[in-house]
Chain A
Amino acid sequence: MTVSLVLVIVMAALIASGVYLLLERSLTRVVLGFLLIGNGVNLLILIMAGRPGIAPIVTDGVAPEEYTDPLPQALILTAIVITFAVSAFLLALIYRSWRLANADDVSDDADDVALREGAFSMPVEEPTPDDGGTDFPVEPDDTVITTSTTGEEQR
């Protein structure tokens, strides 16, 4: 099976440019990178269709080999629509991020940074010494405090 060198080069260029943008901090650039990579991958699938033939509309007297391979086309068609749906979602994310934080960038995760800088410590839940050796301690934080005069059922 032979492939078209031009298509391979275009595909590589699209994906490389997309990756370059994807590694940016600006969310808008990330989404644009996503679009470029989407196009690149669609092109990759198209390359796998092999040598182009006539459009895959069944025509009498045409052998199956003469059509362009319809399988990659079905894949790409769904991929195009999904790419649109996902990029719309990413756009909504950008807008939301802009509304909330007035920021259009991928910021570092605050908790991870805190952990790295040692500003965050792990709490250890260890049993404290026994609370007076009873199931019925006087608990000031208890909402129901009833102390009968005989001292029975003291809480």
Chain B
Amino acid sequence: MLAVLTVFALAAIALPLVARALKTRVFWVAALVSLGAFVHTLLQAPAVLSNEAARLPFEQVTYIAQLQFTLDVRMDTLSWVLALIVTGVGSLVLFYCGSYFRDDEKGLGRFAAVLLAFAGAMYGLVVADDVYLLFVFWEATSVFSYLLIGHYTHRKASRGAALQALITTTLGGLVMLVGLVLLAVQAESSSLTVILETSPATTLTTVSVYLVLVGALSKSAIVPLHFWLPGAMAAPTPVSAYLHAAAMVKAGIYLLARMAPAFVEVPGWREVLVVLGLATMLLGGWVALKQTDLKLLLAYGTVSQLGFLTVVAGFGTRETALGALALLLAHALFKSALFLVVGIIDHEAGTRDLRKLSGLGRRSPVLAVTAALVLASMAGLPPLFGFVAKETVLHGLLAAATGENAALVGDNGQVWGTVAVVGVVVGSALTVAYSIRFFWGAFARKPGVDDVTALETVSRRFMLAPTVLAVTSLALGALASVVNTGLAGYPALFPSGDAKPYELALWHGLEPELGLSLITIVAGATLFALREQFSRLQARLATGANASDAYWDTMSAVDRFAARVTSLTQRGSLSFYLGVILVVFVAVMTAGLVVGDSWPAELRAWDQPAQLAIGAVMIGAALAATQAQKRFAALVIVGVTGFGMSALFALQGAPDLAITQILVEIVTLIAFVLVLRRLPAKLGDRHGSTHKALRAVIAIGVGVVMALVALIAAGSRIAEPISLAWPELAFVQGHGRNIVNVALVDLRGWDTLGELAVVIAAATGVASLLFLRDRGDTPTRIGRAVIKSRIASKLERVRELGAEGERRNAWILAGPTLDPRHRSILLEVVVRLTFHAIIVISLYLLFAGHNLPGGGFVGGLVAGLALVGRYLAGGRYELGVALPIGAGALLGTGLIIAAGAALVPLFFGAPPLTSTYVEAEVWLLGEIEFVTSTIFDIGVYLIVIGLVLDVLRSLGAEVDRQGGDQQAPPALAARARAQREAAR
């Protein structure tokens, strides 16, 4: 069975690929797959029909062993019959699709694939023996049904109906999931078989059973959740024939039938199902008689029949169980055949409106006979299988009503049996009436309506599927005793009396149920004969209320409510949101601090007196930053706090931090300047500061709370810091003396790896915000020849502009590309002299960092600063010359090295990030010790350089390019030339 499921899945995936070539013949392939599954199921017959629990086909795959989650499939009689229906009708409908659709139909491959996938999901649903697996398939059928109903994606009605069906059935499905989980927890197993065997009788069980019922009833379109099924008729007709007659809507009935043997004793089970079922049956029949669209007539007929099935499947005696399964089979056969007939009529005549169809019977007698056969089965006429099924049902209900087997049926059996018999007879009369109405509507010649001219050339291929279904309906009637053998395993789950079990048969003798059948047929025929009077009665009783409108009203009410909530909470203002978040933060933290019993730490005024001085400067700077009006001023003031931080770090015994902070502060300052030079000097010229007092209150609140948090958190510490072990770990395990660095690259290397990912993401973000089309990873380079010619032309310009003798040497390569007025000879010389030295220093810091202050971060920042110098002195061309590699390449290489250093130990059977070391004598350098975690640090080093480079190339070079390079304005050059001319 799992193999069948796999084949379904693979075939569904493959179909869209071959659809282009095969056109509508793709459906034949799909039909073959389904037919194969049908044959496979048929071959299971000996094992299934043996009806011994041990022999039933059962397969199990352990999915998540730790959660005891297994994929169980099991096939008993009930599953077997449904699997036969699903695969058999499925293959016929798929074959029929090959004629129904045209070769140029849009989305043919998708449609075929989804329909086949649906068949697979439905097959899975009926064989699943694990409630969670069952639920997965259950929801899968909902989703596929959504896609199939919405096949005509350009039709609004299609989309609306698809959504309606999806929301209704999924909502039911979710409620069901809660019920299934509760049942699984109570039975301590998610196996359906085990749950039904244990079936505890507690209030919780009752609740969970009702929750599951909600799902089953919503799927099977039972009042009050029936409205989605008529809406779903927006689907292509083959979909209606399969999903909404034979397969999906039967899922709910299947679940009812599955649970009935175990849960029929649950309080209210029979009452609820009989009442809802009868209501649905009568409502569906009543509305079906109003319809003029043949397909809608069938849809309401299906609603009615599903109600019927609910009554019978839920009633829960041995006889009704047999009747329910027979009726389910009969309904699948006749209702799908009828839909297929409607599809043919629609396809050929271009309408399904019975007011426009006339004289079809004479034009296409084969179609008419086929339809007549299956309609007879639906109306319950002998010798069709529908008759056999209905007789059995009536016998079962009558037996309960007359109290024949009261001991087995329970106390309420007699009352509800009577109610059910009366309701079913009335409902069946309606069924007979709309069956006749269908035949009359589709095939009769009507006065005043032109005969339909089409339908002479219905191909045999097109007719095959409905004909097979009709003949099956006829044959099964004759073979009732054979069918009985096939179905007997299910009723055997119910307690039996002493009497010989009732069997399916075409002729039982003159029994009361035969009389009831006769009454329904006569009543139905009369109802049809008096159709004019009846429709006037219906018109008078019409209330205008219907469940679908209620659904749409609910949906738009939800939408309106959502809009109201959104407009109340989503103000659209970022500062408003931030303010709310911060106020909540202050309130909650204050409450926590008040309630908690922790006491602040002991205070000391300061560690060193210098802290006081530095702190005063920092506070002053922070306050001044809030008042600054000019961009650059504000930036510099904020920078002061950064340098203050660096000083504090140095005082606190944190040299690594002090160095890093200073370097970052410089790079940050430069990055800001690069961007801010394009913005107006004054801050907030458009939106002045508002709500100053309120913001100040929030700000002070947050500050005070943070101070209290610091005091109390420090006071609450009771354990020794884990870092007490670090010096030992760093020296022995990490072979390094600088504990902070070893922590970063070795002890806590995973954290650093995560941090590197953040850095790369941010750097990429910067680049993507500036470089719109591509990452711009080809550095701005120019060839030497170009540079030479540029230098020549620049020198020419310089000669024109400047006085005699003002020729400058090219200290840096791209210097001459700059406007002479923007060049600084001092800067160029300094950069030229220091660049390589700085790079060497950065490398020293990188390698020394393991034992002395330094490391990848510091080294990378220093190298980055060297690049900053080159850029500032020589502009974007100089940057390209200084480092002719893309920033992306640097970042990527760095990450590969770092991640590689983390992963390589795995190949040696060690945990990731394990480090080792080698000592060696190296010429000139003497004895050196190399620790492998340094490789990780090299990755860090490259990534930090990449980050700085990305900032320079984006915020610097690209901003230059977008703003236009600073060139000497032509007017100025012209004026200089004029002056020179005049001087001569």
A interface residues with partner B (beta carbon < 8 Å): 1-26, 28-29, 32, 35-36, 39-40, 42-44, 46-59, 62, 64-65, 67-71, 73-74, 76-78, 80-89, 91-96, 98-99, 103-106, 108-113, 115-116, 120, 122, 124-136, 141, 144, 150-154
Our pick among A12, A23, A64 for the contact of B704 (Cβ within 8 Å) is A12
Our pick among B156, B603, B623 for the contact of A2 (Cβ within 8 Å) is B603
Closest to B770 in A: A92
Q: Which of B23-31, B210-218, B634-642 contacts A (4 or more CB under 8 A)?
A: B634-642
B625 CB contacts on chain A under 8 angstroms? 17, 21, 32, 36
A126 CB contacts on chain B under 8 angstroms? 160, 552
Our pick among A51, A58, A81, A95 for the contact of B944 (Cβ within 8 Å) is A81
A92 CB contacts on chain B under 8 angstroms? 675, 765-766, 769-770, 954-955
Using A25-B687, A124-B555, A136-B347 as known contacts, say yes or no to A3 and B711 having CB atoms under 8 A apart.
yes
B295 CB contacts on chain A under 8 angstroms? 133
Using A7-B615, A81-B944, A96-B769 as known contacts, say yes or no to A67 and B727 having CB atoms under 8 A apart.
yes
Our pick among B352, B572, B653, B676 for the contact of A53 (Cβ within 8 Å) is B653
Contact A127 B160 (CB under 8 A): yes
Contact B857 A19 (CB under 8 A): no
Contact A124 B605 (CB under 8 A): no
Contact A78 B739 (CB under 8 A): no
Our pick among A5, A12, A69, A152 for the contact of B457 (Cβ within 8 Å) is A152
A128 CB contacts on chain B under 8 angstroms? 156-157, 160
Assembled-state Cα–Cα distance A93/B962 (Å)? 15
Assembled-state Cα–Cα distance A11/B350 (Å)? 79
Contact A113 B759 (CB under 8 A): no
Contact A44 B710 (CB under 8 A): yes
Assembled-state Cα–Cα distance A44/B713 (Å)? 10
Contact B654 A55 (CB under 8 A): yes
For A19, A36, A153, the residue with the greatest tally of chain B CB atoms inside 10 Å of its CB is: A19
Write the B617-649 contact mask toward A (1 if CB under 8 angstroms, else 0). 011001101100001001100100110110011
Closest to A103 in B: B686
Contact A9 B755 (CB under 8 A): no
A14 CB contacts on chain B under 8 angstroms? 618-619, 622, 641
Contact B159 A125 (CB under 8 A): yes
Contact B631 A28 (CB under 8 A): yes
A24 CB contacts on chain B under 8 angstroms? 575, 684, 689, 695
A85 CB contacts on chain B under 8 angstroms? 758-759, 762-763, 947
> A23 to nearest B CB, angstroms?
5
Contact A81 B618 (CB under 8 A): no
Assembled-state Cα–Cα distance A77/B563 (Å)? 45
Contact A58 B739 (CB under 8 A): yes
Q: Which of B38-46, B118-126, B718-726, B966-974 contacts A (4 or more CB under 8 A)?
A: B718-726
Q: Which of B187-195, B521-529, B661-669 contacts A (4 or more CB under 8 A)?
A: B661-669
Using A3-B604, A23-B578 as known contacts, say yes or no to A81 and B759 having CB atoms under 8 A apart.
yes
Assembled-state Cα–Cα distance A111/B955 (Å)? 31
Contact A105 B655 (CB under 8 A): no
Q: Give 3 nearest A-B pairs by CB, closest first.
A: A16-B703, A112-B572, A109-B572
Using A133-B351, A135-B236 as known contacts, say yes or no to A13 and B713 having CB atoms under 8 A apart.
no
Write the B937-957 contact mask toward A (1 if CB under 8 angstroms, else 0). 000000010010011001100
The number of chain B residues touching the other chain, given as a range, is 35 or more
Other than A26-B684, A80-B664, give 14 A-B pairs with Cβ distance below 8 A: A8-B707, A13-B618, A23-B695, A46-B649, A77-B857, A88-B955, A89-B769, A91-B672, A91-B675, A92-B770, A95-B675, A108-B572, A120-B563, A136-B347
Our pick among B454, B578, B661, B664 for the contact of A22 (Cβ within 8 Å) is B578
Contact A122 B603 (CB under 8 A): no
Using A48-B714, A104-B679 as known contacts, say yes or no to A11 and B707 having CB atoms under 8 A apart.
yes
Our pick among B611, B728, B755 for the contact of A6 (Cβ within 8 Å) is B611
Contact B699 A35 (CB under 8 A): no
25 A-B pairs within 8 Å (CB atoms) are namely A4-B611, A5-B606, A12-B706, A16-B700, A19-B703, A20-B695, A29-B684, A32-B638, A39-B642, A52-B652, A56-B654, A56-B738, A57-B655, A59-B737, A64-B726, A67-B653, A67-B727, A68-B652, A73-B657, A74-B748, A80-B661, A83-B664, A91-B671, A112-B570, A135-B237
Q: Does B838 sit within 8 A of A, measured CB to CB? A: no
Q: Does B197 sit within 8 A of A, measured CB to CB? A: no
B675 CB contacts on chain A under 8 angstroms? 91-92, 94-95
Contact A69 B721 (CB under 8 A): yes
Using A23-B698, A92-B954 as known contacts, say yes or no to A69 and B723 having CB atoms under 8 A apart.
yes
Assembled-state Cα–Cα distance A49/B717 (Å)? 11
B234 CB contacts on chain A under 8 angstroms? 127
B679 CB contacts on chain A under 8 angstroms? 28, 94, 98, 104
Closest to B852 in A: A57
Contact B727 A5 (CB under 8 A): no
Using A4-B606, A85-B759, A132-B351 as known contacts, say yes or no to A71 and B722 having CB atoms under 8 A apart.
yes
Assembled-state Cα–Cα distance A39/B725 (Å)? 28
Q: Does B702 sit within 8 A of A, measured CB to CB? A: yes
A111 CB contacts on chain B under 8 angstroms? 572
Contact B706 A70 (CB under 8 A): no
A51 CB contacts on chain B under 8 angstroms? 607
B535 CB contacts on chain A under 8 angstroms? none
Q: Does B346 sit within 8 A of A, measured CB to CB? A: yes
B652 CB contacts on chain A under 8 angstroms? 46, 49, 52, 68
Assembled-state Cα–Cα distance A130/B893 (Å)? 62
Our pick among B231, B457, B727 for the contact of A56 (Cβ within 8 Å) is B727
Our pick among B236, B572, B638 for the contact of A36 (Cβ within 8 Å) is B638
B603 CB contacts on chain A under 8 angstroms? 2-5
Using A49-B652, A74-B744, A88-B766 as known contacts, say yes or no to A4 and B604 having CB atoms under 8 A apart.
yes
Our pick among A16, A68, A74 for the contact of B702 (Cβ within 8 Å) is A16
Q: Does B789 sit within 8 A of A, measured CB to CB? A: no
For A43, A54, A151, the residue with the greatest tally of chain B CB atoms inside 10 Å of its CB is: A43
A112 CB contacts on chain B under 8 angstroms? 566-567, 570-572
Q: Does B959 sit within 8 A of A, measured CB to CB? A: yes
A78 CB contacts on chain B under 8 angstroms? 744, 751-752, 755
Assembled-state Cα–Cα distance A133/B299 (Å)? 13
Contact A17 B347 (CB under 8 A): no
Q: Does B319 sit within 8 A of A, measured CB to CB? A: no
For A9, A15, A24, A44, the residue with the greatest tally of chain B CB atoms inside 10 Å of its CB is: A24
B642 CB contacts on chain A under 8 angstroms? 35, 39
Assembled-state Cα–Cα distance A13/B638 (Å)? 13
> A2 to nearest B CB, angstroms?
4
Assembled-state Cα–Cα distance A103/B687 (Å)? 10
> B205 to nearest A CB, angstroms?
39
A48 CB contacts on chain B under 8 angstroms? 710, 713-714
B295-353 at interface with A (beta carbon < 8 Å): 295-296, 343, 346-348, 350-353
Q: Does B560 sit within 8 A of A, measured CB to CB? A: yes
Write the B128-150 contact mask toward A (1 if CB under 8 angstroms, else 0). 00000000000000000000000
Our pick among A53, A77, A81 for the contact of B740 (Cβ within 8 Å) is A77
Contact B707 A12 (CB under 8 A): yes
Contact A130 B611 (CB under 8 A): no
Contact B604 A20 (CB under 8 A): no
Contact B157 A131 (CB under 8 A): yes
Assembled-state Cα–Cα distance A6/B748 (Å)? 31
> A17 to nearest B CB, angstroms?
4
B664 CB contacts on chain A under 8 angstroms? 80-81, 83-84
Contact B157 A130 (CB under 8 A): yes
Q: Does B540 sit within 8 A of A, measured CB to CB? A: no
Assembled-state Cα–Cα distance A74/B348 (Å)? 78
B732-767 at interface with A (beta carbon < 8 Å): 736-740, 743-744, 748, 751-752, 755, 758-759, 762-763, 765-766
Contact A58 B638 (CB under 8 A): no
For B104, B651, B668, B730, the residue with the greatest tally of chain A CB atoms inside 10 Å of its CB is: B668
B979 CB contacts on chain A under 8 angstroms? none
Contact A44 B611 (CB under 8 A): no
> A26 to nearest B CB, angstroms?
4
